[in-house]
Amino acid sequence: MKSAVVLLPGLNRDRDMIAALTKISGKAPVTVWETDTEIPDVDLIVIPGGFSYGDYLRCGAIAARMPALRAVAEKAAKGVMVIGVCNGFQILVESGLLPGALMRNTSLKFVCREVKLSVANANTAFTRNYQPGQIIRCPVAHHDGNYFADAETLARIEDNGQVVFRYAEGTNPNGSINDIAGIVSDKGNVLGLMPHPENLIEAAHGGSDGRALFESALGIAA
């Protein structure tokens, strides 16, 4: 399986993401720059976290209008898997590839800590190596992770099983509606999540609960 990482000015988790994908897949991902209008033939595209374009206007708003994101949308429409982590998730909702919006944390504070996640849907391309309802550890680091969707959209994504990860055991760090931490698109090939699974993939990280997400997406058996 081949992967690509989207690079944008202001992202700062790109090296962690490249390291995680290289270690897990055995191959370094190709990189895509903001002005690239085409993405090479890959199975998985990842948009890492950070503060693209200084979070100006709204988190992810400027990035979502760049040529690289138009190229991501074209690939997503063809069924290529896409993962957006943290700012990557904000970019995916701003680009309309995922429903809803990510707003300022209700605490108004930047939250950097470990949370618990429950796997709300283990029947997706990104979670098949987890058990349904499994509780995993995962770090978060964000200021705008408060997921919001209008009542109709919320009911639709809940009914469709598009909510993939929820904050568990009272660890919701941002006020997200229904404790939503990660969702997939209606076709199931685009995943956005606020937590950072790439930062919990090996013993040196203090745990490896995030590894199964990438192994699922990269088609590596559990």
Partner 1 sequence: MIKARVTVTLKNGVLDPQGKAIEHALGGLGFGCVGSVRQGKVFDLELNATDKTKAEADLKAMCDKLLANTVIENYAVEIA
Which of 86, 94, 142, 215 is the catalytic position?
86
The answer to the question of residue 149 lying near partner 1 (CB under 8 A) is: yes
Q: Is 58 in the site for partner 1 (CB under 8 A)?
A: yes
CB of 178 to partner 1, least distance (A): 14
The helix/strand/coil state of 216 is helix
Catalytic residue among 34, 59, 142, 198: 198
The b-or-e profile of 68-85 (16+ CB within 10 A means b, else e) is bbebbbebbeeebbbbbb
Binding of partner 1 by 98 (CB under 8 A)? no
How far is residue 63's CA from residue 69's CA, in Å, rounded to a whole number?
Answer: 7
Using rule CB under 8 A, residue 150 touches partner 1: yes
Find the part of the chain contacting partner 1 (CB under 8 A) among 9-17, 41-49, 147-155, 193-201: 147-155
Give CA–CA dist 32/30, Å, rounded. Answer: 7
Pick from 12, 22, 37, 106 the residue near partner 1 by CB under 8 A. Answer: 106
Active site (annotated) includes residue 142: no
Count the residues of the shown chain that bind partner 1, applying the rule CB under 8 A.
Answer: 20
> Three-state secondary structure along 64-128?
HHCHHHHHHHHHHHCCCEEEEECHHHHHHHHCCCCCCEEECCCCCCCEEEEEEEEECCCCCCCCC
Active-site residue identified among 34, 94, 142, 196 = 196
Annotated catalytic residue 86? yes
- Dihedral over alpha carbons 10, 13, 15, 17 (to 10 degrees): -130
Active site residue 205: no
The rounded distance, in Å, linking the Cα atoms of 160 and 198 is: 27
The count of other CB atoms within 10 Å of the CB of residue 205 is 17
- Residue 192 as a binder of partner 1 (CB under 8 A): the answer is no
Residue 93 interacts with partner 1 (CB under 8 A): yes or no? yes
67 binds partner 1 (CB under 8 A): no
Q: At its nearest, how many Å lie between partner 1 and the CB of residue 212?
A: 31
- Check residue 57 for interaction with partner 1 (CB under 8 A): yes
Pairing mode, if any, of strands 111-119 and 163-168? antiparallel
Is residue 94 within the footprint of partner 1 (CB under 8 A)?
yes
Q: Which positions are annotated as active-site residues?
A: 86, 196, 198
Residues that bind partner 1 (CB under 8 A): 57-58, 61, 65, 93-94, 99-101, 103-108, 146, 148-150, 175
